[in-house]
Amino acid sequence: MIIDVARLHHPVTALGPGTRLGIWTQGCTLACPGCLSRDTWESGPEYAVDVRTVLDWCDARPPAEVDGVSISGGEPSQQPHALAELLKGLAERRERHGWDLLCWTGLEEELFANRCPDAYALLDGLVTGPYVAARAGGGRWRGSANQRLVPLTGLGQERYGQWAEDEPQDGHPAELQFQVETDRMFLIGVPRPGDPARVQRALAAQGITMDGVTWRP
Q: Of 21 and 35, which has the nearer Cβ to ligand SF4?
A: 35
* Cα distance between residue 147 and residue 75, in whole Å: 15
Give the distance, in angstroms, between the CA of residue 79 and the centroid of all CA atoms in the same chain.
Answer: 15
Q: Of 68 and 191, which has the nearer Cβ to ligand SF4?
A: 191
For position 103 contacting ligand SF4 by CB under 6 A, the verdict is no
For position 31 contacting ligand SF4 by CB under 6 A, the verdict is yes
For position 39 contacting ligand SF4 by CB under 6 A, the verdict is no
- Of the candidate residues 131, 137, 147, 159, the single one contacting ligand SF4 (CB under 6 A): 131
Contacts (CB under 6 A) with ligand SF4, residues 65-84? 73-75
For position 40 contacting ligand SF4 by CB under 6 A, the verdict is yes
CA-nearest of 107, 136, 109 to 121 is 109
Residue burial 122-146, b: 16+ Cβ < 10 Å; e: rest: bbbbbbbbbbbeeebbbbbbbbbbe
* Cα distance between residue 21 and residue 11, in whole Å: 6
Q: Of 68 and 106, which has the nearer Cβ to ligand SF4?
A: 106
Half-sphere exposure (Cβ direction) of 51: Cα atoms closer than 13 Å: 15
For 94, phi and psi rounded to 5 degrees? -60, -40
Q: How far is the CB of 51 from ligand SF4 (least distance, A)?
A: 21
Q: How far is the CB of 143 from ligand SF4 (least distance, A)?
A: 7
Cβ pair 169, 137 in contact under 8 A: no
Piece of 34-42, 50-58, 119-127, 191-199 that binds ligand SF4 (CB under 6 A): 34-42
**Residues making contact with ligand SF4 (CB under 6 A):** 28, 30-32, 35, 37, 40, 73-75, 106, 130-131
